[in-house]
Amino acid sequence: MNAKRIAAFALPLLLMLAGDVLAAQNVKSLYQRNCASCHGRYGEKPALNKARALTTLNEGQITEALTERRAGKIQGAGSQPKKRLTDEDIQQLAAYIQTLKTR
């Protein structure tokens, strides 16, 4: 392989990896800024004593919970912070919260 070919192969790969790292940092700060105050830094708190600890929920349960609250199907003190989330935010948060369980 010549240098050009190596670059053509390696560059997109590097950009993809950099993209993943950025996404990982974004979802972390999204969670810490918008969720941690009620649910705890590690998803361990029962927000206002009304929610289960997020660490007891699996990815599907979190996606469903966020989608329902965003849609207004569940009204409560915790619904407002969910209103601004995009589909991508929800998917990333559900996956991110799983990584908090191992801490």
- Give whichever of 16 and 48 is closer to ligand HEC, judged by the CB atom: 48
Residue 69's closest CA among 49, 48, 84, 91? 84
**Looking up tokens 């966020």, which residue turns up?**
66
- Give whichever of 79 and 98 is closer to ligand HEC, judged by the CB atom: 79
Smallest separation (angstroms) from ligand HEC to the CB of 5: 44
The DSSP string of 30-95 is HHHHHTHHHH-TTS-S-GGGTS--GGGS-HHHHHHHHHHHHTTSS-STTTGGGTT--HHHHHHHHH
The CA distance from 72 to 41, in Å, is 25
- Give whichever of 19 and 37 is closer to ligand HEC, judged by the CB atom: 37
- Give whichever of 75 and 102 is closer to ligand HEC, judged by the CB atom: 75
Smallest separation (angstroms) from ligand HEC to the CB of 24: 16
Give the residues lining the site for ligand HEC (CB under 6 A): 34-35, 37-39, 47-48, 50-52, 54, 57, 62, 65-66, 69, 74, 76-79, 81-82, 85, 93
Smallest separation (angstroms) from ligand HEC to the CB of 46: 8
